A = this chain, B = another copy of it.
Amino acid sequence: MALIGILGGMGPLATVDFMEQIIRLTGAARDQEHLPMLVANLPHTPDRSAAITDGGADPLPALLAGIDLLNRNRVGVIAVPCNSAHHWYAQMRAHSEAPLLHIGEVCAAAIAPQVTRAAVLATRGALTAGFYQAALVERGIEPVLPDPDTQQAVSACVAAVKADRLGDAAAHLCAALDALTAQRIEAAVLGCTELPIAARELEMREFALVDSTLELARETVRYALARGWNRPA
């Protein structure tokens, strides 16, 4: 039995959202056509962004413990629906027998080819880590980062989703997107898995929103269906 391994709980609602995208994208007509998953939902993992920017507790031991747990149970691939955790992607990959998808890479690859300027909405930690900026520049896309006030709104949105205050979260995200509208961007990367949950409460924008949770789910489903994991052994 080949299982999709999910290292989650960062945060828990984002993990559930990611699983739901996988289920919807599988397009199954009955239970037995769906994809098996093993989900380690480990919310006690220390805050990733605070560790990167403020010297907070190191999440790497908890991340590696989760990777170990999934490998012990012989998952066939691992997805981590938390962007900031990808600051430790190299360490997690080196530690894992199963291949590890990279949320930032798959998300950057999903931006339409005509886009030349894209905003990156993410935690302060993920922006400090810099993997989104590098992935965009590599594709010839100029990354546009929020000013401090706008970043404050993005961070407040993330915290509100983690506390299940979706109305507040949507208001914060709306303020951030309004501020970015003046920046002549053609796309905005929702580079934190809490942001798409808030975005679903909002109206469409004149620029495209690139949903990192959805793009990671698409890649995960593609990987698993190509290997026939939806078919019972």
Which residue numbers of A lie inside 8 Å of B, CB to CB? 1, 9-13, 15-16, 19-20, 23-24, 28-47, 69, 72-73, 159, 162-164, 232-233
Contact = CB atoms under 8 A, between A and B. Distances in A.
A73 B39 CA distance: 12
A29 B163 CA distance: 4
A24 B73 contact: no
Contact of A13 (B10, B23, B39, B232): B23
Contact of A30 (B1, B36, B159): B159
Given A16-B19, A31-B162, A47-B31, A39 B36 contact: no
A22 to B, nearest CB: 8
Contacts of A46: 32
A41 B6 CA distance: 11
A232 B24 contact: no
A34 B9 contact: yes
16 contacts: A9-B31, A10-B31, A11-B31, A12-B19, A12-B34, A13-B20, A15-B19, A28-B163, A29-B162, A31-B162, A32-B44, A34-B43, A36-B41, A36-B43, A38-B40, A72-B73
A11 to B, nearest CB: 5
Contacts of A31: 9-12, 43-45, 47, 162
A169 to B, nearest CB: 13
Contacts of A233: 44
Contacts of A41: 19, 36-39
A193 to B, nearest CB: 11
Contacts of A13: 20, 23
Nearest to A32: B44
A47 B24 contact: no
Q: Ordered nearest first, which 5 A-B pairs have the shortest CB separation?
A: A34-B43, A39-B39, A44-B232, A37-B41, A31-B43
A24 B13 CA distance: 9
A30 B43 CA distance: 9
A23 B12 contact: yes
Max count, chain B CB within 10 A of own CB: residue among A11, A31, A46: A31
